[in-house]
Amino acid sequence: MSDKYLSFTQSQIGRLLVKNLGLPDPVELERYAAGDPLVNGAVLLGGSGRLVESLPGLLGPLGIATDDARADGVRYKGLVFDASGLTSPGQLEALRDFFTPVLRSLERCPRVVVIGTPPEQVAGEERITQRALEGFTRSLGKEIGRGGTVQLVYVAEGAEAAATSTLAFLLSPKSAYVSGQVVRIGAHGAKTAEPVSDWTRPLTGKVALVTGASRGIGEQIARVLHRDGATVVGVDVPQAADGLVKLMNELGGDWLTLDITAPDAPQRIAQHLKDRHGGVDIVVHNAGITRDKKLANMDADRWTSVIDVNVVAPGRITAELLAQKVVNPNGRIVGVASIAGIAGNVGQTNYAASKAGVIGLVDSLADELTDGITVNAVAPGFIITQMTAAVPFATREVGQRLNAMAQGGLPVDVAETIAWYANPGSTAVNGNVVRVCGQMMLGA
């Protein structure tokens, strides 16, 4: 699957029409490939908060070059501004002072990260000021253009050293389709991170369970986790067995075919993981279905099947794995939600309810988990897959263009976000829901 409009805009006639008619002008996004540097260029640092002095030490081991002063004629691939030291609204002027002179000196597909303090952890004018950062970053994300992304990372006091995995993800092409997001580090539970011995294969020795793994987004999740060193256990329905077995053989993984809504599915999965792998480190609830109809025409089967697959089954499987202690210490539980669960969608009351329920699963567990286990979710927007290829042309084009990047995402964009959650260094990344949607213009 590909974005034919994006390809058209790269042609001579396409460039002419875009310029003269004011059509959407998407930039071909840079994406990560194994062996690439995380950041292909320099990152300019600024600000006066709790992390600014430690940022070179956090980024240096990743091979990321940093500058702490702007130099004339230098173009930057990334900007990191530590705003955690801003305590009154008047001090927000520091954002303009740092960003305005340098925004025209950015490379193509630049990465911008603003660091703050969780507003709920401070009071008075400082709380007002830190909350204001969300409006700033989301607006800049819609202005930056050229395939750029802008994120806000709230780092709780005491969690400063745990920011490395998040900065590595957000400053690299791995976050190509993630923009305008707010990430919290150390807001729930742990404020430290497990050491990462090899940032190119951080999941070496880990076991990852991926449901719905035979194709589409699930296939890419399996591939990216394998690339990062994990042994993947793919789960899918018996009808998808051929594709599942072929993929797992290619990746040197393991597989299990079953219906995740079956009464004994959680027990079978738990037993398989214990018997064959001694436990699991990463659990990705990717399996999902749609059965779209407006609510006035929604029959009981359409409603129940979607709720059962998308939210009831992940809840039951998670509960069983935790109860049997199959999830290893410093384990990761990741749900695949949807932008529909945040913004809603016509004809998808069942689907949107189920995906909002996945977010509820994250909320319910974030403060309950122990032993360094985390729970987070991704919420994809319009991702180009075989399923979306069947969407009527006009609807598909609106879905792909109505975001800050004027294009649809790829399954690998979802997979890279999950791999960041799965990283051993992400122990302090807990209770987050990150949208992989190119920063949709409306609704979320």
Integer Cα distance of 158 and 48 in angstroms: 17
Q: Annotated catalytic, 32?
A: no
CB under 8 Å to 205, separation ≥6 — which residues?
Answer: 229
* pLDDT computed for residue 373 by the predictor: 97
Please report, for the chain, the start and end positions of each structural domain, with discontinuous segments joined by +.
1-30, 31-185, 207-436
Q: Do 403 and 409 meet the contact criterion of CB atoms below 8 Å apart?
A: no
pTM score: 0.95
- Backbone φ and ψ for 324, nearest 5 degrees, come out as -85, 0
pLDDT < 70: residue spans in the chain: 1, 389-390, 394, 442-444
* pLDDT computed for residue 40 by the predictor: 94
CATH superfamily, domain at 31-185: NAD(P)-binding Rossmann-like Domain (3.40.50.720)
* pLDDT computed for residue 444 by the predictor: 52
Q: Catalytic one among 5, 177, 351, 421?
A: 351
The pLDDT tens digits for 144-197 are 999 999 999 999 999 999 999 999 999 999 999 999 999 999 999 888 998 999
Contacts of residues 247-252 at CB distance under 8 Å and 24 or more positions apart, as own/partner, are 247/213, 247/214, 247/219, 247/222, 248/213, 248/222, 251/222, 251/223, 251/226, 252/226
> CATH code for 207-436?
3.40.50.720
Tell me whether the CATH fold assigned to 31-185 matches the one assigned to 207-436: yes
